[in-house]
Amino acid sequence: MDRRKFLAGALTTAGTLVLGARFLKDERFGQHTTFVRPPGALAEDQFVKRCIGCAKCLEACTNDCIRLLGAELGLSRLHTPIVVPRQKGCTLCLSCTAICPTGALQRVDCAAGVPTRAQVRMGTAELNQSLCFSYNGRTCGVCYQACPLPGKAMRIGLFEQPKVDPHQCVGCGLCEQACVHLPQAVRVRDRERFA
């Protein structure tokens, strides 16, 4: 390899890492962007070994919520699928789980039409009550209305105060996407994968 090709490769890699770091940082709020894996994802170490970055899950997604990681978390996770709830939550259509050719995303079939925490473990919604309108003298309830599992994953109390049940929440991110407070009062996190 000559010097010119080496320098071009090094600059490309550095540029990718800088752009990746910028993706993870939300400039408007000075907070880190959170993301989760799509439904049916294996445990992270197994997921990274099996995922080949084919983007079939991205193409199958009916809500266009799946994105591919750059090099921000290392080359082993390059071009692996994620969902960024702040941008667009997962509607749990589960098309991605049916098309994955390697089993990195395990097929999720819902006999009753509703996936459960046992089948879909994308993450868990966390509520910051100090930011939530409903806990600060105004009613809202938008996150509850967006939840695909109302009354289970999220319940609503007096003055439309949302309460997340971490044992039922699948981490789809629709509540974070819907939150009208800036920065969002609810965030979906997957601490096990991206601690």
| Structure confidence at residue 100 (pLDDT) | 95
Start-to-end CA distance of the chain, whole Å, equals 38
Digit-coded pLDDT (tens) for 24-48: 444 333 355 678 999 999 999 999 9
C-alpha pair distances (Å), 124 with each of 16, 36, 155: 29, 9, 14
The pTM (predicted TM-score) of the whole model is: 0.78
| Domain locations in the chain as residue ranges | 28-189
CA–CA distance, 106 with 159 (Å, rounded to integer) = 39
CA–CA distance, 47 with 96 (Å, rounded to integer) = 14
Torsion of the alpha carbons at 193, 180, 118 and 55, rounded to the nearest 10? -60
| Structure confidence at residue 16 (pLDDT) | 47
